[in-house]
Amino acid sequence: MPIKGQWPQFHKHGVVMITAHQSGNSNYEEAESIPRELVVQLVTAIEPIFEANDIYPNPTGGSYNTYAIS
């Protein structure tokens, strides 16, 4: 999986193993590498993302109601 800047680029669905590394320096020891599995799913239709929610923009001028798309 190619990395562009700090972000991975996904070209197809599947499972990707990502391992975080943090090297040490004169003040901190090296951290243990931690692998995590990331599942990228193929979406072929628009699904409702959320149900009725309140959104508070920053800086807030009040709330906005949102509703699920059906």
Q: Taking the model in full, what pTM does it have?
A: 0.44
Q: Choose among 27, 34, 35, 66: nearest CA to 50.
A: 66
Placement of tokens 């972000």 in the chain: 7
pLDDT in tens, the chain (70 residues): 566 677 777 788 889 888 888 899 999 999 999 999 988 888 777 766 656 666 666 665 665 555 555 4
Region of residue 49 (phi > 0: left; psi between -120 and 50: alpha; otherwise: beta): alpha
Residue (of 7, 16, 19) closest to 40 by Cα position: 16
CA distances from 58 to 5, 61, 63 (A): 27, 8, 10
